[in-house]
Amino acid sequence: MPQNPDTTAITAGRGDQSSLSPALWPSTVWEAESLDDATKRATGLRSSEFYSRFANPTVTQFEQAIAELEGAEDALAFGSGMGAVASLVLALCGQGSHIVAQNNIYGATLSFLLGPCARFGIETTLVDPTIPGAFAAAVIPGRTMLVIAETPSNPRLAITNLAELGAIKGPFTVVDSTLATPMGQRPLDFGIDIVLHSATKGIGGHNDALLGVIAGEQDLLNDVWSYSVMHGACASPYDAHNALRGIRTLAVRTERQNKTALTLARALESHPSVKAVFHPFLESHPQHDLARSQMRYGGTLVAAELHGGFNECNEFVKKLQLAHIATSFGGTETLVCHPATSTHAGLSTDALNAVGVTPGLLRFSVGLEDAGDLVNDVTNALQN
């Protein structure tokens, strides 16, 4: 029977346990019944109850929850979002492989592709994801192994067309869906091969779990596991446990935080001190129709460009009472950051311009505070 995703957030990843709260398995190792049994455990694919780098029951439960939420056959967790990115790329690519990625992808992913991957002979072509057909045009048949997109993108919340990406044949298509969470969109429904999350953000949702996860077809994930078990970026059962707790409230958090984000975005948009505001569900967003057509929620991030530059941003954030200056997102507290000097620090002026990270740009991660209080806090700080 088809079920609303909000219900799946409550029912997913229960396994056959009768305890309503998931069991936390800190054990790194399990005892075998005999030498034959030990061989079985040591050689099994994603072997459970053997050694925690191979699999851990608490982590497995988190993976099952994500698989159900994404409508996937299976999921595979990692110690961080970057652990997921690095393991996936190195599992499927080798010397001479080619990757197509969007030019405004997460900073550490970009650095990984252009640094270590290039050093190992894995070449990356960067494309503008807002140009129709750009991903497909950059694919080199027989050489391109991965096409990697991120939607919405950070920090300007540009949208990549999921159906267009999903139609690409040949290479595996990957969508970093961290900003949307499984509540906001389901890339696999559009024919994407692998959806990837930094569960450190909205899925965990409480700033207390560092975790990454991919979901897709079981055979493909088994191939990734065969490499990642050696790479070793495995998820901690403590973090998986915290993220499972986060998943139970993901639907209500997402609904509330998205609603507040849109309220804040509209308030900012009508303020004279603000030059431009970016949120996928704002009518002024250049890809608003596309966002509405492929997303249930527009996300909890809002980007705003103030008139002026760093000094104006600095004066503004000093006056904020509720928003904390911090760079992550998806948690319960509202955060604000200045991307040019934090998440994107170290990029050249040209590179910053290419991804639209201007000196007047601020990024808000909207939390669970009352929307009216947040709007008051922001408008007071803008006025004084």
Ligand X SMILES: *Cc1c(COP(=O)(O)O)cnc(C)c1O
Determine how many CB atoms are found less than 10 A away from the CB of residue 335: 20
Sequence-distant (≥ 6) Cβ neighbours of residue 36 within 8 angstroms? none
**Of residues 302-331, those binding ligand X (CB under 6 A):** none
CA 291 to chain CA centroid, nearest Å = 16
Q: What is the dihedral of CA 114, 119, 124, 126, to 10 degrees?
A: 20
Compute the distance between CA of residue 229 and CA of residue 300 in angstroms, rounded to an integer. Answer: 33
Q: Which is nearer to ligand X, 108 or 351 (CB)?
A: 108
Alpha-carbon span 327 to 310, nearest angstrom: 16
**Are the C-beta atoms of residues 227 and 90 closer than 8 Å to each other?**
yes
d(CA 197, CA 219): 19
Report the residue number, 235 or 368, with the smaller CB distance to ligand X: 235
**CB-neighbour burial class of residue 318 (10 A; exposed 0-12, middle 13-18, buried 19+):** exposed
Question: Which lies closer to ligand X via its Cβ, residue 108 or residue 140?
Answer: 108
**Please, which of residues 338-357 interact with ligand X by CB under 6 A?**
none
Distance CA 382, CA 179 (A): 26
Query: 50 by DSSP, 3-state: which?
Result: coil
- Residues 68, 70, 74, 150: which binds ligand X (CB under 6 A)? 150
Nearer to ligand X, 82 or 302 (CB): 82
Contact with ligand X (CB under 6 A) among 25, 62, 106, 172: 106
Q: Does 242 bind ligand X (CB under 6 A)?
A: no
Options 18-26, 162-170, 171-179, 263-271: segment touching ligand X (CB under 6 A): 171-179
Rounded to a whole number of angstroms, the minimum distance from the CB of residue 93 to ligand X is 18
Which pair of tokens denotes residue 62? 């988190």
CB proximity list for 93: less than 8 A, separation 6 or greater:
99, 117, 122, 145, 146
Applying CB under 6 A, does 365 fall inside the site for ligand X?
no
Of 56, 198, 257, 294, the one binding ligand X (CB under 6 A) is 198
104 binds ligand X (CB under 6 A): no
> Looking at 110-118, 197-205, 284-292, 376-384, which segment touches ligand X (CB under 6 A)?
197-205
- Residues 202, 182 contacting (CB under 8 angstroms): no
At 155, which amino acid appears?
P
CB of 153 to ligand X, least distance (A): 8
Return the number of the residue (82 or 368) whose C-beta is nearest ligand X.
Answer: 82
State the CB neighbour count (10 A cutoff) for residue 187: 30
Q: Which of 104, 178, 181, 334 lies at the binding interface for ligand X (CB under 6 A)?
A: 178
In this complex, which beta carbon is closest to ligand X, that of residue 96 or of residue 116? Answer: 116
Nearest residue relative to ligand X (C-beta): 81
CB of 296 to ligand X, least distance (A): 18
x/- mask, ligand X, residues 74-93, rule CB under 6 A, reads: ------xxx-----------
Nearest distance, CB of residue 43 and ligand X, angstroms: 31
Q: For ligand X, which is the closer residue by CB, 61 or 300?
A: 300
> Before 187, cis peptide (omega within 30)?
no
| Residue numbers at the binding site for ligand X (CB under 6 A) | 80-82, 106, 108, 150, 154, 176, 178-179, 198, 200-201, 210, 212
